[in-house]
């Protein structure tokens, strides 16, 4: 392993420590063609200071040239890793905003180095590697990596990563307020259709509103949001919760998937994760999501262990999903009595799979058990729901009694008026 003293004391960039890439460089410098970049300075008056660390000269130089081409930054190259993790505190004393570390020369040590840096500092850490398999990406993210760069280093990718790094640098500006509506779907018991309703409600809200909407699957560890929507995700809710201390808008964006309807999704993991989220981690995730999205729809399944989080303290509306059966109504009665009396969050009771012709319980008994009339009665349409599950096509994208009622629920949130039934009837005649 190279000598750590060289790492600390001898940057091998052709520039001195205080010299910007926009300043004069030695005539022999390989960076000379890149000094006067045609691109605007994205970092403002206070330029980023970037340390590129990597024993492989060719890869390191290629990245330094790409960074130089983005302009506006002070770049220093280092040809060695520290000799051990004991030198990390000394490394952090250096005046740099961003550390970009080569993964391929010594992968295991490089990841340990990244993790040690992130545990001790708020500096932005990036890595560069010719390998980009999902397992490596997940390991990097868990270590605290903010950006993953792969050769050949395209100008656009490097520039975007540096702009995000500049945005993360402390500026003393007030944080964006978390004003997004928090819309929580809770089931009276398992199997009552919470995920189906949450997915279709979120799709309808995303399609029928000018506001941006995210759906978060907190029905851990076995949530089915991704399966219902037919999307494949690389990262999950667990990845966000594991990194809660450093979670921000930029980091969250990297975990999300866009559905064809325009809905943004943070899904549950595809594998069974040995992870238990703290209330603080969940609150941080919801806070960041509400800063960036007008509507934050959350599927919590029938998890009652989350009642101590902001899911219930700050909810705009909690949708309690139940059915017209004795066990569901009994559970609903207990939940309402325990959590939704005496000034709690707004509660909408949703009776799912409602069929007045085959009710085992009279409607007046349903109202009595719920201590209030249900706000929404979702009709029973087993064939339509089964088709949605088999084809991963949301009900909200088609026209059916269920989709019309779900769209009405979404319009009630966004304040959009219901379609004029008279005009709709006249249009149907023509």
The whole-number pLDDT of residue 386 equals: 78
Nearest to 303 by CA among 321, 284, 327: 321
**Contact between 125 and 140 (Cβ < 8 Å):** no
Q: How many domains does the chain have?
A: 2
Same domain, yes or no, for 112 and 205? Answer: no
Mean residue pLDDT of the chain comes to 80
> pLDDT of 99-155, one tens digit each?
999 999 888 998 988 888 887 777 889 999 998 888 888 888 888 898 999 988 988
Considering the domain boundaries, does residue 89 fall inside one?
yes
Same domain, yes or no, for 295 and 406? Answer: yes
**Contact between 341 and 370 (Cβ < 8 Å):** no
Tell me the residue range of the domain where 288 lies: 181-429
Same domain, yes or no, for 185 and 310? Answer: yes
Confidence of residue 383 (pLDDT cuts 50, 70, 90): confident
Residue 358 in this model has a pLDDT that exceeds 60: yes
Considering the domain boundaries, does residue 189 fall inside one?
yes
The single residue listed with the structure tokens 């930054």 is 73
> pLDDT of 298-332, one tens digit each?
999 999 888 889 998 899 999 999 998 899 999 99
Same domain, yes or no, for 420 and 279? Answer: yes
Confidence of residue 46 (pLDDT cuts 50, 70, 90): low
> pLDDT of 203-248, one tens digit each?
999 988 788 999 999 999 889 999 999 998 888 999 999 888 888 8
- The DSSP string of 230-242 is T---SS-HHHHHH
Burial of 10 (0-12, 13-18, 19+ CB in 10 A): exposed
**Contact between 62 and 151 (Cβ < 8 Å):** yes
From 53-62, 256-265, 334-343, the region with the lowest mean pLDDT = 334-343
Domain final residue, candidates 168, 194, 226:
168
**Contact between 300 and 321 (Cβ < 8 Å):** no
Considering the domain boundaries, does residue 73 fall inside one?
yes
Tell me the pTM: 0.66
> pLDDT of 161-175, one tens digit each?
888 888 877 654 456
- Tell me how far apart the alpha carbons of residues 268 and 235 are, in angstroms, rounded to a whole number: 8
Same domain, yes or no, for 54 and 198? Answer: no
Evaluated on CA atoms 183, 188, 191, 197, the torsion sign reads negative
The whole-number pLDDT of residue 218 equals: 95
Same domain, yes or no, for 128 and 275? Answer: no
Same domain, yes or no, for 365 and 399? Answer: yes
Same domain, yes or no, for 248 and 196? Answer: yes
115: domain CATH number is 3.40.50.2300
Cβ neighbors of 290 (< 8 A, separation 6 or more) are: 178, 179, 180, 181, 182, 296, 314
Considering the domain boundaries, does residue 175 fall inside one?
no
Cβ neighbors of 309 (< 8 A, separation 6 or more) are: 279, 282, 283, 286
């Amino acid at each position: 392993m190279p000598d750590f003293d060289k790492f600390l004391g001898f940057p091998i960039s052709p520039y001195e420590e205080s010299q910007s890439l926009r300043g004069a460089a030695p005539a022999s410098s390989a960076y000379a063609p890149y000094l006067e970049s045609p691109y605007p300075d994205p970092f403002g008056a206070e330029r980023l200071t970037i340390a590129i660390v990597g024993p492989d000269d060719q890869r390191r130089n290629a990245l330094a040239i790409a960074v130089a081409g983005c302009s506006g930054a002070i770049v220093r190259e280092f040809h060695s890793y520290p000799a051990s993790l004991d030198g990390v505190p000394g490394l952090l004393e250096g005046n740099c905003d961003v550390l970009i570390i080569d993964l391929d020369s010594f992968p295991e040590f490089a990841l340990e180095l990244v993790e040690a840096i992130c545990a001790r500092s708020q500096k932005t850490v990036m890595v560069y590697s010719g390998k980009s398999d999902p397992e490596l990406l997940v390991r990097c993210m868990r270590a605290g990596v903010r950006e993953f760069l792969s050769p050949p280093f395209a100008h656009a990718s490097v520039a975007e990563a540096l702009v995000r790094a500049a945005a993360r640098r402390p500026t003393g500006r007030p944080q964006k307020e978390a004003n997004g509506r928090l819309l929580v779907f809770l089931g009276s018991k398992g199997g009552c259709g919470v995920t189906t309703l949450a997915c279709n409600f979120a799709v309808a809200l995303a399609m029928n509103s000018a506001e941006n909407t995210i759906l978060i699957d907190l029905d851990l560890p076995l949530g089915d949001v991704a399966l219902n929507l037919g999307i494949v995700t690389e990262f999950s809710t667990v990845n966000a919760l594991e990194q809660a201390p450093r979670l921000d808008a930029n980091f969250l964006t990297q975990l999300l998937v866009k559905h064809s309807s325009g809905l943004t999704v943070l899904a549950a993991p595809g594998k069974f994760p040995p992870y238990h989220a703290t209330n603080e981690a969940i609150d941080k995730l919801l806070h960041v999501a509400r800063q960036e999205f007008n509507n934050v729809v959350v599927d919590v399944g029938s998890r009652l262990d989350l009642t101590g989080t902001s899911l219930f303290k700050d909810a705009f509306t909690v949708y309690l999903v139940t059915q017209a059966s004795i066990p569901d109504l009994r559970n609903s009665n207990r939940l309402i009595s325990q959590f939704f009396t005496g000034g709690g969050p707004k509660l909408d009771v949703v009776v799912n799979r409602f069929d007045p012709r085959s009710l085992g319980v009279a409607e007046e008994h349903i109202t009595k058990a719920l201590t209030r009339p249900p706000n929404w009665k979702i009709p029973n349409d087993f064939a339509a729901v089964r088709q949605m599950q088999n084809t991963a096509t949301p009900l909200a994208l088609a026209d059916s009694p269920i989709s019309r009622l779900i769209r009405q629920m979404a319009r009630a949130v966004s304040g959009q008026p219901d379609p004029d039934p008279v005009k709709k009837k006249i249009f149907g005649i023509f």
